[in-house]
Amino acid sequence: MPHTIAESSQDAPLFPPIEPYRSGMLAVDAIHTLYWEECGNPQGEPVLFLHGGPGGGISPKHRRFFDPSHYRIVLFDQRGAGRSTPLGEVRDNTTPLLVEDIERLRVMLGIERWLIFGGSWGSTLALAYGQAHPQRCSGFILRGIFLCSAAEIDWFMHGMGLFFPEAHAAFIGAVPEEERDDLLGAYARRLFSEDIAQSRAAARAWSIYEGSCARLLPDAETIADFGSDAVAIGIGRLEAHYFLHGGFLASGALLQGVDRIRHLPAIIVQGRYDVVCPPATAYKLARSWPQARLRVIADAGHSASEPGIMAALVEATEAFRMRRGFD
């Protein structure tokens, strides 16, 4: 049985804002160029931050989960996301290619092994990378587990409406009633349309839907951020692209592959009322990986910005810094 700790949130501030000491653009093929940055201690313990989405991108706040005096913090925008170019591009954008990008970045930076930190889709990619390259990982901090199964995709498209009916009504309202039997297909036709205005409108509707469901208590600032073109184009287009292809993963592959990484320390942080990525998935992963520590935050949803989730993630990075509690 997984080791589960149920707890309430407590205010625990992130580390102070920091700026990168190095950043750049890495061309990974003829189409995609990735933005990357390093923060913290150049001689410190390497840690890789993997953002969510797909298509979510990184933000300055993401640097602040880690003690900058200890960690060499590496962040990058995945293909089609954030400051990587082209924004929202789905050509040559698959999970195996993202795994290759991570390895290319590691080699370029001269890093032997690193701690892998990822939430939501970032947890998916962290598991995929770790199982492909376990010898390059020192451990995992995972949040809001998403395994990209057909059931999870169907839940996103339909099930979240059980808890956020207004947001779901707006989401399905963006497509004609006669197309709603295949909601993902209807969105895909619009998101990948050559009509730029139609594509952007669909991306905003998709992204606002997710932003509206991301927190235990919906937050207007979060919803507005998800509705901006800078976020929505990456989120809408890439999430639909990956959903259409089952995350470019064989069914059940990430659970079946746990044997490759079970010898590595791991902390899983999960909001009890996470509607975007429900706790059942984190529990399923923890049952397959009993060596991992599962922390269920009693008064949190999906967002890494919720107080209890933030506190637990900082505590996790501190536990790895001090190598505490992994016996």
pLDDT digits (tens, 9 = 90+) for 129-145: 999 999 999 999 999 99
Per-residue model confidence (pLDDT) at position 327: 53
How does residue 323 score in pLDDT terms, banded at 50, 70 and 90? confident
Q: What does DSSP assign to residue 223?
A: H
Per-residue model confidence (pLDDT) at position 1: 37
- Which of 67, 149, 274, 303 is labelled catalytic? 274
Rounded to the nearest angstrom, the gap between the alpha carbon of residue 128 and the centroid of all alpha carbons in its chain is 12
Tens digit of pLDDT for each residue in 41-86? 999 999 999 999 999 999 999 999 999 999 999 999 999 999 999 9
pLDDT mean over 184-211: 97
Residue limits of CATH 3.40.50.1820 in the chain: 3-148+248-322
pLDDT mean over 229-236: 95
Question: Among all chains, which residue has been given the structure tokens 């606002």?
Answer: 208
How does residue 208 score in pLDDT terms, banded at 50, 70 and 90? very high
CB 325 within 8 A of CB 293: yes
Report d(CA 48, CA 112) in Å as an integer: 12
Report d(CA 135, CA 174) in Å as an integer: 46
CB 223 within 8 A of CB 136: no
Tens digit of pLDDT for each residue in 85-110? 999 999 999 999 999 999 999 999 99
Tell whether omega for the bond before 60 is within 30 degrees of 0, i.e. cis.
Answer: no
Residue 247 pLDDT exceeds 70: yes
CA-wise closest residue to 34 among 42, 43, 26, 23 = 26
3-17, 192-206, 210-224, range with the lowest pLDDT? 3-17
Mean pLDDT, rounded, of the chain: 94
Whether 3 is catalytic is no
Q: Does domain 3-148+248-322 have CATH number 3.20.20.120?
A: no
Per-residue model confidence (pLDDT) at position 13: 76
- Which of 32, 67, 101, 120 is labelled catalytic? 120
In order, the DSSP letters of 111-171 are: -S-EEEEEETHHHHHHHHHHHH-GGGEEEEEEES-----HHHHHHHHTGGGGT-HHHHHHH
Whether 302 is catalytic is yes
Whether 133 is catalytic is no
How does residue 226 score in pLDDT terms, banded at 50, 70 and 90? very high
User: Tokens at residue 176, please?
Assistant: 């004609």
